[in-house]
Amino acid sequence: MTLTDRQQLSYIASQAADARLNVELETEGMTLNIGPQHPATHGTLRIICRLDGEQVVWAEPVAGYMHRGYEKLTEVRTFPQVTTLVNRIDWLGSFANEVPFILAAEKLMEIEAPPRAQVIRTILFELSRIANVSLFLGDLGVQMGAITPVFLAFRDREYILNLIEGATGGRFHPNFDRIGGLKDDLPKGWIEETRGAVKKLEQFCDTIDDLLFGNEIFQSRMRGIGIIPADIAKDYGLSGANARASGIDWDLRRDQDIPLSYGLADWKVWTHPDGDSWARCWIRLQETRESCKIVTQLLDQIPAGPVMTKVPRIIKVPEGEAWVSTENPLGEMGYYVVSKGGLGPFRVKIRSASFNNISIVPWALKGVYVPDVITILASLYFILGDIDR
């Protein structure tokens, strides 16, 4: 037997051994439950993943583990009492939840808040966005084992929460918006304190940009992962930063006429063409900077005057139906309010941003690897109170 023949036989034998090994290593598909009690699921959300090795074949989100029935509870509350409930839907941006409901009630009553109240509403709305998204930006690092960014986020978010508490009396759940205006005027010294706090948050954004977005590990885990094309984003009803990260130039603050004061400020709607996890996070970083700009500009334009228009002491909203949505920190937040002329709503339908945004999870997770599941979920950004209404 020649050397060439022996080499050929050796090659055939090695291939046969590899084939036998591959057969031995074949495994059946595996079902992996992520959550509902898991530190990486951002709350009590359960994701059922069917795996082929390390790859996700299909995934299904299972919500409802903390359902609290906000829509039904509104039927046994007066209109002013409803703000206490809706504060707790997206608990990280609670004041922002109040605004579209109050605007819907004002629409039914055919009244508007005074100009001073409208500007202050807008400022508090954007402060809620900054408090909400700054924590999101810090928490991104935790998804990949980096804990420093979240410490920075908790530290600097306190400056914003101090402002919200100083103006409203409520640190996490302000319950400050009222039909026809606001509960109180701003306290003395609040405007100057806000200027200083906003500057600190602008510095926070710069730090996170360098520390996290400039990190090569963060980039490798996020770029090109979880890509959502614009047409798919529209089909699944994505809104907010998730839609803008897929190149959809749509922001309700700019694109609809509602009695808030965004038109008084010079700011930009950011989009990104890539549609991946990186883009969704990057858009939120830029939007936090834009919110800081909006607040700074509006502080110089708060008009004199009352913060409450004249309304009855006992509020009865006329019979009718109204729909109002706003650009909340997580996306479009809308209320469809039906009144029968009583003290409270007859029906309320809530369009929460997170519920629609997680609808794309089965599509987005199909074919990805297990470690990417967590980063994709993080980039979509949802709050469970915003899902389990």
- 283-340 pLDDT, tens digit per residue, is 999 999 999 999 999 999 999 999 999 999 899 999 999 999 999 999 999 999 999 9
- CA atoms within 13 A of residue 207's CA, in its CB half-sphere: 18
Total-model pTM: 0.89
With cut-offs at 50, 70 and 90, classify the pLDDT of residue 33: confident
167: Cβ contacts below 8 Å, ≥ 6 apart: 120, 124, 174, 176, 184, 186, 187, 190
Q: What is the pLDDT of residues 47-76, one digit of tens each?
A: 999 998 889 999 999 888 877 788 999 999
Hey, how many other C-beta atoms are within 10 angstroms of the C-beta on 370? Answer: 15
Q: Is a pLDDT exceeding 80 seen at residue 30?
A: yes
**Lowest-pLDDT range of 30-39, 153-162, 223-232, 241-250:** 30-39
In a domain, 305, yes or no: yes
In a domain, 259, yes or no: yes
Question: Which of 101, 44, 46 is CA-nearest to residue 68?
Answer: 44
Total of domains in the chain: 1
Q: Measured between alpha carbons, how far is 262 from 255 in angstroms, rounded to an integer? A: 11
In a domain, 5, yes or no: no
Q: What is the pLDDT of residues 106-156, one digit of tens each?
A: 999 999 999 999 999 999 999 999 999 999 999 888 888 888 999 999 999
Q: Residue 330's domain is classified under what CATH number?
A: 1.10.645.10
Question: Which of 282, 148, 142 is CA-nearest to residue 219?
Answer: 282
In a domain, 41, yes or no: no
Which helix H or strand E contains 90, and what residues bound it? none
pLDDT of residue 334: 95
- CA atoms within 13 A of residue 60's CA, in its CB half-sphere: 4
**Lowest-pLDDT range of 61-70, 146-155, 220-229, 365-374:** 61-70
How far from chain centre, in Å, is Cα 113? 27
Q: Is a pLDDT exceeding 60 seen at residue 38?
A: no
pLDDT mean over 89-96: 88
With cut-offs at 50, 70 and 90, classify the pLDDT of residue 40: very low
Q: Measured between alpha carbons, how far is 362 from 48 in angstroms, rounded to an integer? A: 10
In a domain, 27, yes or no: no
In a domain, 157, yes or no: yes
- Please state, in angstroms and as integers, the Cα–Cα distance from residue 145 to each residue in 32, 40, 139, 141, following that order: 21, 11, 10, 6
- Domain hosting 200: range is 60-386
Angle at CA 83, nearest 5°, toward 178 and 251?
85
- Please state, in angstroms and as integers, the Cα–Cα distance from residue 103 to each residue in 29, 133, 216, 235, following that order: 51, 23, 44, 28
In a domain, 34, yes or no: no
- Please state, in angstroms and as integers, the Cα–Cα distance from residue 46 to each residue in 82, 100, 368, 376, following that order: 29, 29, 18, 15
In a domain, 15, yes or no: no
